[in-house]
Amino acid sequence: MIGKTGRIKNGAAQTPPRLTGAVEQLAEALMRSHEAACITDAENRIVFVNPAFEGLYGMGLRKMAGESPALLLSPRCHAKVADRVATTTRQQGRWQGELLNVTGAGREIKVRLSTSALVTRGKVSGMVGFATPVPVIPEELSAAQKAIYQMLGEGKQPKEIAGALGRSINTIRTQMERMLEKLPGVRDAHDLICHAVRTVAAQP
């Protein structure tokens, strides 16, 4: 019989209260995590997903229970990617990289996935994976805008982004000053832009 504390009553093994508390804290952390978490069993079948997973993929445990994580892969991924991730996780204890996934609605998304092996009595009894969406950067954006997207995707704080932008602006200012020195009759940034427009307009 299992009591409220997780101990086995009238029997042998009992879970120490301290360990029970740690397990409960871990479960609470998984449920509250902003990263999409997924746990699989020894056969790599899904046994748990958290609310963030359901929010990202639009599919909860009722839909995903017993399925392979390969179900999430985009058709554009190589067929053996899922096997490679699982094998590397089992053999090396972890895997990390970016993958193309699909949501329950069929929308393709790019995620950054980190996996870890769950080991019980020396054997891999399952795996846990954490996925975070990677912002899709439109091709038409400037290099500076792409850099901002990249930093946002890496979870950079506003102060870090502002610092990076400041360094970029200083670099651009230095390059403009060097160009101003080489172009006769060009005094400032306004003249430089006008010069560039005239140069392009003069091209056949």
Q: Does 125 have pLDDT greater than 60? A: yes
Structural domains in the chain (count)? 2
Residue 2 has pLDDT above 60, yes or no: no
59 and 150 within one domain:
no
Tell me how far apart the alpha carbons of residues 192 and 170 are, in angstroms, rounded to a whole number. Answer: 17
Predicted local confidence at residue 4, as pLDDT: 39
pTM over 0.75: no
Asked if residue 46 and residue 116 are part of one domain, the reply reads: yes
- Kindly state whether residues 114 and 189 are assigned to the same domain: no
Q: Is 137 exposed, middle or buried (0-12, 13-18, 19+ CB in 10 A)?
A: middle
Residues 125 and 152 in one domain: no
Question: Domain residues for 108?
Answer: 33-133
3-state secondary structure of 119: strand
Do 148 and 69 share a structural domain? no
Task: Choose the final residue of a domain: 107, 133, 159.
Answer: 133
pLDDT at 178: 64
Q: Are residues 148 and 194 in the same domain?
A: yes
11-48 pLDDT tens trace: 444 555 655 666 677 778 888 888 999 999 999 999 99
